[in-house]
Amino acid sequence: MTIKTKLSNLSIVLFLIVCASLTNHGHSAKAQDDQIPAAAHELLQSQIVQQKACTTCHTISNQGGTVGPILNQIGNRRSPDWLTKWLKDPNAVKLGTKMPNFRFNDADIEELVGYFQRMKRVIPTDQIFAEATSPEDAGEKLFKAYDCYACHKIGDRGRIIGPDLTWVGKRKTQEWERVWLKDPPAYKPDTFMPNFHLSDREIEALSSFLHTLQGQHNDAGRQEEALFQFFLGGGAKQRGQFVFERFACWSCHGEGGHGGIKNPNAYTEEEEYIGEVPPLDEVTNLMEPDEIREIVINGAIPEKNDSDGENPPYACPEWGDSITEDELNDLIIYLESLAPPKPQFQLVE
């Protein structure tokens, strides 16, 4: 065996180790076994899951990929009706989803929904409150117990189906969190976040925990991205996308920066975006890089459209202390990649 093939074998092994650790987000992400319902282990062994390779995208019972939500506690958050609709045609529930339509027959759907219903856990709320040292601590324990990590990331743990929550305490107020957690689809009808039917006491604890998230886990997220980059490459645009996701710019500027997030009574110069957070998918054609830098560093509070009306709920946070110069440069390269090419004048010979 030549040195070269030895090296490439070594890098393949390293690559697999990294993939495995990224998949599970290290030991910290391994769910406690007592948190994984027995039906999750059974689902993992089932013929349907094996044949359709659901674990390329989903983690089930500590095994699988990071593209989709962790499914261990799916029965806690989705009704049998919702799950049946989802399996019949995911794209009809969430337009543009990466989940394929497997064209299941009714018997397969019934079998899968049967597993999902049993993948439910009794949340030990009373015990959590009895053992917690503070409302924030209770909130953190509830966050784990409800497996909010199935769709959300904090630092290097969790998934990014919903916004990364590493900085959520900086961009949203606790009052806003309370309203949101009470009933997400009531606040935003097309949201993919389910209603967990939380009690007021649980909402109070969860919102106070979320409010403590002011970037203290940022380095863990950053290191994980660096590891990813080291093995998988991707360059400045990919790094910029990681930054966009870690700071969850999309939680206000819409998925992929495409806008569409309501911001009642906000004024913008462009008439079509009045009452909304401006999209970012063409911002590099409209603003110079230095103007964009300035907003990201110092933040921006939108003017009111009707001066007697309410303050718009969202303002662009000030990220100056949190974001590095390199991250800012990568972010701008990522934003440029979203924009359609600027019209070019051709030289006529």
Reference 114, options 190, 46, 183, 16; nearest CA is: 46
Count other C-beta atoms under 10 Å from residue 177's C-beta. Answer: 21
Q: CB under 6 A: which stretch of 13-21, 27-35, 168-176, 340-348 binds ligand HEC?
A: 168-176
Interaction mask 293-332, ligand HEC, x per CB under 6 A: --xx---x-x-----------xxxx-x-----------x-
Reference 128, options 149, 147, 148, 142; nearest CA is: 142
What does the alpha-carbon distance between residue 202 and residue 210 come to, in Å, rounded to a whole number? 12
For residue 169, state whether it binds ligand HEC (rule: CB under 6 A). no
Question: Token pair of 324, please?
Answer: 């590095």
Task: Identify which of residues 31 and 49 has a Cβ nearer to ligand HEC in the complex.
Answer: 49
By CB under 6 A, the residues from 27 to 66 that bind ligand HEC are: 48-49, 52, 54, 56-58
Choose, by CB under 6 A, the member of 44, 66, 86, 239 that binds ligand HEC: 86
- Cβ at position 344, least distance to ligand HEC in Å: 23
Q: Residue 258, Cα to own-chain centre: how many angstroms?
A: 16
What contacts 64, CB < 8 A, 6 or more positions away? 23, 54, 55, 56, 57, 58
144: left (phi > 0), else alpha (psi -120 to 50), else beta?
A: alpha
Task: Identify which of residues 39 and 193 has a Cβ nearer to ligand HEC in the complex.
Answer: 193
What does the alpha-carbon distance between residue 67 and residue 280 come to, in Å, rounded to a whole number? 24
Q: CB under 6 A: which stretch of 118-126, 127-135, 177-185, 222-230 binds ligand HEC?
A: 177-185
For residue 145, state whether it binds ligand HEC (rule: CB under 6 A). no
Q: What is the CA radius of gyration of the chain?
A: 22
For residue 221, state whether it binds ligand HEC (rule: CB under 6 A). no
Reference 257, options 240, 280, 241, 273; nearest CA is: 280
Choose, by CB under 6 A, the member of 69, 75, 158, 215 that binds ligand HEC: 69
Q: Residue 74, Cα to own-chain centre: how many angstroms?
A: 17
Residues lying near ligand HEC in the complex (CB under 6 A): 48-49, 52, 54, 56-58, 67-69, 71, 74, 77-78, 83, 86, 94, 97-100, 102, 112, 143, 146, 148, 150-152, 161-163, 168, 171-172, 177, 180-181, 188, 191-194, 196, 206, 210, 247-249, 251-253, 263, 268, 277-278, 280, 283, 292, 295-296, 300, 302, 314-317, 319, 331
